[in-house]
Amino acid sequence: MTISKVLPAGTHTLEIRNEINENIRFEKGGVQSAFWMSDLKDRKYLEQYLPTNIEFDQYKMDLNLKFIGGNKDQTIYTNGTVTKTSSTEFNISYPKYFTASSLFFHTATKDRFNEVKYDFKSISAKIIPVTIYSKSSWNLSSAKKRSESVLNELEGKLGAWSHPELIIYVAGQGGMEYSGATITSMSALGHEITHSYFARGVMPVDGNSGWMDEAIASWRDGGYKSAKKPNFSSTSMAAHSQYRRTTDRKAYTEGANFMAYLNNSLENIGGLTTILKLMYNKYVHTSINTETFRSELETFSGLNMEKDFNKYIYGQGKESKSKSMRKSNPFHPELSKAQLQSLL
């Protein structure tokens, strides 16, 4: 869309009208709809559904919903503050630190999903409401137990939970992170909750920065390992076009191994989690890039990591060739349109 109009100096309001046709299904009595997102394909964040800027931009959002013509109540699962303004109207307010990849929204007719709710007591002394929902009831108790364990682990390693709540949709497939929310399988649950620290807590500013959070989460999945040297020769995970918006898949493997290498290099100061915890406290709810990460590592450790980043992250070396990088990651599988529709 091109706007070609001369306006006088001052404040103006731009009104854009569009129709949502992705991941929405009208059924007798109500509607099933969600803003499913992906970081593995271009233009798969909020821009699929609503006008928005790209990932570097943070701004407050308000979503007003009105359900017309239905005869069933709607349930709303979202990481914003919901206010019911009438029997069929809702306002959802999202915080000013959100980006185009932060917002979680899913509405379904009442009683479509089974739920379990509990309160998690954070090390900050705050009470964090946790909502877990699924079409199957058998995995809710397992998800509750697993999520409590992961939250305790991550708070011990990285610091207090920074989001007002936690929403977990145990969909049985898929895996995607949002700020204080996730759609996940049981096997990916720990990985996705980790992303509320790095990815949707401390957020990547662009596609050349997204490797960091996938590398951190995958390193965590592997048990916080240490490696005396990387097991690959070089990658260009953060050396793509400045317009790139997707995450380099090497982050899951080479990236995780690079984190193991950093962990070993930082052993004398408590390892990589010591620095990640400090970084999380400093940058929570802000966006960073790869150079910020390198600078903070050097500041906290006193080491010069320019050569390592140039070789292993910026591709100033002979790049590794790995067939595994062409495969879908088990925690973030690519789903077809039909599969995404089935999750509504």
Sorted by where each begins, the domain ranges of the chain are 24-112, 114-194, 204-326
pLDDT per residue as tens digits for the range 207-249 = 999 999 999 999 999 999 999 999 999 999 999 998 888 899 9
Q: Residue 2 — very low, low, confident or very high, per pLDDT cuts 50/70/90?
A: low
pLDDT over 70, % of the chain: 95
Q: CA–CA distance from 179 to each of 79, 140, 262, 301 (Å)? A: 7, 21, 26, 29
Instruction: Give the C-alpha separation, 117 to 130, whole Å.
Output: 6
Q: Residue 20 — very low, low, confident or very high, per pLDDT cuts 50/70/90?
A: confident
**pLDDT over 80 (residue 260):** yes
Q: Is 206 helix (H, G, I), strand (E, B) or coil?
A: coil
pTM of the model: 0.93
Fold of 114-194: Zincin-like (3.30.2010)
pLDDT at 96: 96
Instruction: Give the C-alpha separation, 145 to 148, whole Å.
Output: 5
